[in-house]
Amino acid sequence: MSKICVLDGYAGNPGDLSWEPLKALGECAIYDRTTPEEVLQRAADAEVVLTNKVVLTAETMAALPALKYIGVLATGYNIVDVDAARERGIVVTNIPAYSTDSVAQMVFAHILNIAQQVRHHSDEVRAGRWSNNSDFCFWDTPLMELRGKKIGIVGLGHTGYMTARIAIGFGMKVYAYTSKSPFQLPPEIKKLELDELFSNCDIVSLHCPLTEQTRHLVNAGRLKQMKPTAILINTGRGPLVNEQELADALNSGTIYAAGVDVLSEEPPRADNPLLSARNCFITPHIAWATREARERLMQVAVENVRGFLEGKVINNVAK
């Protein structure tokens, strides 16, 4: 029976889902969290290792001679040295597209919160301001209707495309920076170059992978291209954004607001400049974490392991 080690299962399954389907595939050791110092001891005899955010380096793999399979419990797999895995004949799988609908939903949760200032006005009502108001209603921030606004989507993969479909439903004008040709896009989505997209759109939403080319894609120069009424949304990867320069842009009024679900360091340091920036709304990397998305994640994770054990590898990113 194969030995299976889950290094950090808590984020995906804090107790509301079942590990039983995975346990049916082998002898399982499941840990909520694992520090770098604990990896070698915990995974010592494991043929199969599952990881969400625990890093697996070339040195780690070299010290785990039994290791034949690494299952990443996420879509992004930059925590694994894939080249080293390939050289050692170790299969590496990921879980693509499991959270597409949930992440696109979070994009619009941020957009709608900013457009209507939902949290702010709810807090003001609780503070008694509506009860003490002379009129039947009040607002003290700009309120925005989305119909007719321009949204620019950077990266038109699964989540970017789903975000575009929702935007179309709101009557927005949708633009995309994408490697796809204009002929591959539906008529409701227009292709733009990056500078033009940032300059013309009322909302920019980031959905591109993190590479050396996209690191700090959003910086002081790009932010200056945007309208002073513009909104930036990041549910992709934290390092796509230079956080100090975004904070400066928000505090100076260069752009109006930002909604982010990811930061460059998670959990963030107390001195992260976005934590105190004006009109910056931050959620703690939860766009992917709906129960429905996590159920899909668990199901695909088990299917990936089963496929490997049966010699029918799927979702292999180390080919």
* Catalytic residue ranges: 237, 266, 285
Residues in Cβ contact with 59 at an 8 Å cutoff, skipping those fewer than 6 apart: none
Output the six-digit token pair for 282.
Answer: 């931050």
- In angstroms, the CA 150 to CA 262 distance is 23
Residue count (the chain): 319
Task: Encode 164-213 in three state secondary structure.
Answer: HHHHHHCCCEEEEECCCCHHHCCCCEEECCHHHHHHHCCEEEECCCCCCC
- In angstroms, the CA 130 to CA 225 distance is 38
For residues 194, 199, 203, 206, the Cα torsion angle rounded to the nearest 10 degrees is 20
Exposure string over 216-242, b if 16+ CB within 10 A, otherwise e: ebbeeebbebbbeebbbbbbbbbbbbb
